[in-house]
Structure 1
Amino acid sequence: MTAERRQFISPFQYNPGNDPSVITYLQGLKGGDAPGTFVLVGANNSPGPTPVGLVYQGPLDRVMRRGVSGSGTWSTVAVPKRFGAAGTSVYGPDNFGAGLGNLVGAYTRSLGNQTPSSDNPAIVGFTYTGALNGSTATGWRSVQGTTQLGVKGSYTFVHSVDGGLAVGNTDNADVDDLTGYFSLSSTAFIVELATGRQTPIRFPGERDPLVTHTAYGIWANGSGKYTIAGGSGEVLNEEASRVSAGEAYLIDYDSITGQFSNYTTFSYRNRDRTDLITHFEGIYRTDNGSYRLPATSVALNDEGDLAIASEVTIKRNKKGEFRAKASWQDLDVTRSSDGAVSVLSTANSLYGDVTVGFANYPDGNSGLTPLDFVSRLL
Structure 2
Amino acid sequence: MRLLFILKSREGNWGYASGSSGLANSVRFVVDMLTSHGIEAKAVEVQDNNCIDREVTAYRPTHVIVEAFWVVPEKFNVLKALHPRVRWIVRDHSETPFLANEGIAFGWTAAYLARGVEVMCNAPRAVGDMQVVASACAHPETLVTYGPNYYPTPSGGEISAKPMPSDVIDIGCFGAIRPLKNHMVQAIAAMAFADAAGLSLRFHVNATRVEGNGSPVLKNLREVFAASRHELVEHGWQEHADFLRLMATMDICMQVSFTETFNIVAADAMASSVPVVASSEFPWLGEYAFADPTSSKGIAALLMKIWAESDVARSYRLHRQRRDMVNYNQRSECVWLERFA
Task: Answer yes or no: same fold by TM over 0.5.
Answer: no
Q: TM-score, normalised by structure 1?
A: 0.25
Comparing both structures, which one devotes a greater share of its residues to helix? 2
Rg (Cα) greater in structure: 2
Comparing both structures, which one devotes a greater share of its residues to strand? 1
